[in-house]
A = this chain, B = another copy of it.
Amino acid sequence: MKRSENQTARYDDRPIGVFDSGVGGLTVVKQLMKRLPQESIIYFGDTARIPYGTKSEKIVRRFALEDSFFLLDKGVKAIVVACNTASANAIPLLEKVLPVPVTGVIHPGAEAAVQRTRNGKIGVIGTAATIRSSTYRKEILRLQDGLQIVSQACPLFVPLVEEGWIEDEATYLIARRYLQPMIDNGVDTLILGCTHYPLLKNVIQKIVGPQVNLVDSGVETARVVEELLGEHHLFARPDHLPDHQFFLSDLPYKFQEIAERFLEQSIPHVQTVNFEQFLMEKGETFWKAYEEELAAFI
């Protein structure tokens, strides 16, 4: 589809699909709603198969495809992979085989950090799985060689956020310990490399100091989604009233409470889907449709 085709304004009111292994991707949804308020969003949280971070690359690629099939079946016009593990392992595959534009959360965050750093020292924090995979490091160095990268796994941040212990003495103590290497190494830009971490933004900013630029992958991903929609003439009409839908493959403990903290608004309608049944009924048709492209990846 070439830009020159867009002589008259064209609109597409279909929803944007977003998936994550759990609830964290809702911080990306929040930024999408803020930046693109006319767009409908369909969210799928694969809570029955969480976490993805401990699974093999091959399994994560299969899960990412299956999650995408679910969203395509709901008629989405674009897919946002709001999960660091799936972004790290499945983006090339999804970009190649899916019939809609796709973005993950890693490239947008890495790109923003490379653009903003002045002293060439970038910090990355994330889950143990994300840090161990070195995905941010690789993506940053692919964008610009020679930058200094300081990485730190922060395994306690996710459970602290899910407990709702944000402006909390224990959280400050733990964050100070995790972030000390960032201060010691003088990073001027810090990537929040986990979709849960934007909820700790204030705590983190206070500890590393106001001179450090925090990169929120959700904000950067929403920016990239806007670019993609523009490029592919997929914006909803400016006066479109959005209709959001939230699907989960399992209803986890305290979901409503956690979700509303992540979204900073109430979630009207959460549907639990039998994902195994979806895959049994429709999985094969999707796999067959992409068989040829998939052969090289799976």
Spell out A's residues near B (CB within 8 Å): 47-48, 50-51, 54-56, 128-129, 132, 153, 155-156, 158-160, 162-163, 169-170, 173-174, 177, 250, 252-254
Which chain B residue shows the least CB distance to A252? B54
Q: Distance in Å from the Cβ of A293 to the closest Cβ of chain B?
A: 24
What are 5 residue pairs bridging A and B, where the CB atoms are less than 8 Å apart in the complex?
A: A50-B54, A55-B250, A129-B253, A156-B163, A169-B173
Copies of this chain present in the complex amount to 2
Please determine whether A128 and B253 come into contact, CB atoms closer than 8 angstroms: yes
Q: Distance in Å from the Cβ of A21 to the closest Cβ of chain B?
A: 11
Please give, as numbers and ranges, the residues of chain B lying within 8 Å of A156 by CB-CB distance: 156, 159-160, 163
Please give, as numbers and ranges, the residues of chain B lying within 8 Å of A56 by CB-CB distance: 48, 250
Q: Distance in Å from the Cβ of A52 to the closest Cβ of chain B?
A: 12
A sample of 10 more A-B contacts (CB under 8 A), given A56-B250, A128-B253, is A47-B54, A48-B55, A54-B250, A55-B250, A132-B253, A156-B159, A156-B160, A158-B159, A170-B170, A170-B173
Please give, as numbers and ranges, the residues of chain B lying within 8 Å of A173 by CB-CB distance: 169-170, 173
What are the 4 tightest A-B residue pairs by CB atom distance, in nearest-first order? A170-B173, A128-B253, A156-B159, A155-B159
Q: Distance in Å from the Cβ of A155 to the closest Cβ of chain B?
A: 5
Q: Distance in Å from the Cβ of A201 to the closest Cβ of chain B?
A: 20
* Complex-state Cα separation, A160 to B253, whole angstroms: 20
* Complex-state Cα separation, A170 to B157, whole angstroms: 13
